[in-house]
Each structure stands twice: as C-alpha cells, then as structure tokens.
C-alpha cells in the first residue's frame, strides 16, 4: 500500500495565527497537526501537543512550530512513512509530490488501515 492511498488533506495555516486560532481549527476539523506556511512555502508543522504546552499563553504558531520538517513522497510505501516516523519520533508526516505539499499522514491513519496492511511489511 502506498502513502497516497491513505494520506489525508493537510490543513495549512499562516505563521502568524494565534495558539487559540490553531486550537480551534484542530478541534473543529478533528485533526492533530497543521502545516505552517509563509509566502506559500511550508516552513513548519505544529501539533496538538505543541498547542497544549502553550495553553493559557499568548503567541503565534511560528514561535512553537517545528521547523525541521520531515516529509515523505506520496508514491512511497507505507513502511517508508512508518520508518521515518519511528526514526524521527514523530506522529504526523507531511506528504509531498515533487516537492509540493500533497497531504499528510498520521500514525493514526496507519493504525486505521492495520488490517489492510497486515503482512505487507515487518516492523522491527
């Protein structure tokens, strides 16, 4: 199974939105991460965990986002995405197509397809 088969739409936000606005978007969309952009370029990722750490504080997502963005190509097998998540200790992985944002895959997306993936790869 390929990453593109189970990836979901990535939610993109401007670097200047507040923690509160980011939390509202995540809550209303039932998602765990947002891709942060500036001038249409992906510059970071912010997760629900990042937002929770800032509960009660004021600020913008640009101050808490992870700037080191690990990505996976949409054409890759799911095991490649899983290995990247494991190696980098992350749960959300932006998916790219020729360098352009195509979607996102989360550990929960992989778990939801566990039955279909059974036997496709071995996790060490």
pLDDT mean over 17-28: 94
pLDDT of residue 69: 95
Check the CA dihedral 87-33-120-118 and report its sign. positive
From 73, 35, 31, select the one nearest 48 (Cα to Cα).
31
Assess contact for 35 and 42: CB atoms under 8 A.
yes
pLDDT by residue (tens digit) across 41-82? Answer: 999 999 999 998 888 888 999 999 999 999 999 999 999 999
Pick the CATH number of 3-117 from 3.40.50.1220, 3.10.580.10, 1.10.150.170, 3.30.70.100: 3.10.580.10
pLDDT reported for residue 66: 95
Say if residue 123's pLDDT is above 60.
no
- Range list of β-strands (E), the chain: 12-14, 33-38, 41-47, 72-73, 92-97, 100-106
Average pLDDT over the chain, rounded to an integer: 91
Domain borders along the chain are: 3-117
């Amino acid at each position: 199974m390929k990453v593109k088969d189970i990836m979901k739409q990535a939610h993109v936000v401007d670097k200047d939105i507040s923690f509160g606005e980011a939390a509202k978007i995540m809550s209303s969309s039932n998602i765990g991460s947002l891709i942060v952009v500036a001038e249409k370029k992906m510059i970071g990722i912010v997760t629900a965990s990042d937002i929770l750490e800032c509960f009660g504080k004021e600020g913008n997502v640009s101050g808490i986002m992870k700037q080191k963005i690990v990505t996976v190509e949409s054409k890759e097998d799911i095991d490649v995405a899983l290995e990247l998540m494991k190696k980098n200790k992350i749960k959300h992985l932006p998916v790219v197509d020729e360098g352009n944002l195509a979607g996102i895959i989360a550990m929960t997306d992989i778990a939801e397809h566990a039955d279909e993936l059974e036997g496709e790869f071995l996790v060490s």
